[in-house]
Amino acid sequence: MAAHVDPLVVGRVIGDVVDLFVPTVAMSVRFGTKDLTNGCEIKPSIAADAPAVQIAGRANDLFTLIMTDPDAPSPSEPSMREWLHWLVVNIPGGTDPSQGEAVVPYMGPRPPVGIHRYVMVVFQQKARMTAPPALAPGAEAARVGFTTRAFADRHDLGLPVAAMYFNAQKEPANRRRHY
């Protein structure tokens, strides 16, 4: 009988981005008609717009969603680890990020070289968070060198309650899908 191996461990999400945790809240992620599964490949053109994310939980629970690329700018030299792609706080349980407060607007995958992991982590908040001012469009410097663990520590979020990741790599210019 084979033992179950957590895909978050295999994909080094646990270790590179977060510490070992036990998922306690269900999360579903969908790009268009494609349901996300851990480690699946998503074309950057499909992920250009924010995914549909559903976070379970009670309506009076509040959650934080963080999406980062721990492989920026390249998986072999991740000197910009982690690149922050999305940060939403105060998401009520049983809803989606549109019901929360976007601190950093969604930015789709833009892997320059190699296969990058894009990690979505959900934390349950102990209380409503006073959201910092939203990041101005084009303020790329604020996205570089983000640390999920440090953010969680600073805001007393504890361990994650859910996480998923997908892989993406640069598409040839003539193969990009536009819709």
Q: Domain holding 137: CATH number?
A: 3.90.280.10
**Residue 175 in domain:** no
Q: How many domains does the chain have?
A: 1
Instruction: Give the span between the Cα atoms of 8 and 139, in whole angstroms.
Output: 30
Residue 99 clears pLDDT 50, i.e. is over it = yes
What range defines the domain where residue 36 resides?
5-169
State the average pLDDT over residues 75-93.
95
Query: What is the model's pTM?
Result: 0.91
Identify whether the C-beta of residue 25 lies closer than 8 Å to the C-beta of residue 122: yes
9-18, 49-58, 130-139, 148-157: least confidently modelled range: 130-139
Q: Does 1 score more than 50 pLDDT?
A: no
Following DSSP, what letter does each residue of the chain receive, concatenated? Answer: -PPP--HHHHTTHHHHTB------S-EEEEETTEE--TTEE--TTTTSSPPEEEE-S-TT-EEEEEEEETT-SBTTB-TTPSEEEEEEEEEETTB-GGGSEEEE-------SSSEEEEEEEEEE-SS---PPPPPPTT-GGGGTT--HHHHHHHTT--S-SEEEEEEEEPPPGGG----
Question: What number is the average pLDDT over the span 63-82?
Answer: 95
Across 16-37, average pLDDT: 95
Q: Is residue 126 part of a domain?
A: yes
- The pLDDT, as a whole number, for residue 130 is 86
Structure confidence at residue 178 (pLDDT) = 54
Query: Is residue 172 very low, low, confident or very high in pLDDT (cuts 50, 70, 90)?
Result: confident
Query: What percent of the chain shows pLDDT beyond 90?
Result: 82
Give the chain's mean pLDDT: 91
Whether the Cβ atoms of residue 56 and residue 94 lie closer than 8 Å to each other = yes
Position 122 in a domain = yes
Q: Do the strands 162-169 and 40-41 form a parallel or antiparallel pair, or are they unpaired? A: parallel
Six-digit token string for 19: 């510490």
**Does 48 fall in a domain?**
yes
Q: Is residue 80 part of a domain?
A: yes
- What are 132's two structure tokens? 């910092």
6 token code pair: 């957590």
**Quick check: is 179 in a domain?**
no
